[in-house]
Amino acid sequence: MEFELAPAVLAGLIAGAIMEGPVYLQKAMGMPVKQNIFRTWGQNLLRIRGATGYVAGFAFHEGIAVFAAILSALFFDVVGADSNLWLWGLISGLVHYMVAGPVITMIPSLDPATGVVGSQGFAYKNYGTLDVATSFTAHMIFGLSTGIAYGLLHPLGGSGLAF
Nearest one of 136, 110, 113 to 123, comparing CA atoms:
136
Residues in the chain: 163
Cβ atoms of 83 and 160 closer than 8 Å? yes
Given a cut of 50, the residues of the chain with pLDDT beneath it are none
Q: What is the dihedral of CA 90, 16, 133, 96, to 10 degrees?
A: 50
- pLDDT attached to residue 119: 76
- Residue 125 DSSP one-character state: G
Q: pLDDT tens, 72-88?
A: 999 999 999 999 999 99
Q: How many CB atoms lie within 10 A of CB 63?
A: 14
Q: Which H/E stretch holds residue 30?
A: none
Nearest one of 36, 9, 28 to 108, comparing CA atoms:
36
Q: Indicate the pTM of the whole model.
A: 0.92
* Domains of the chain by residue range: 5-162
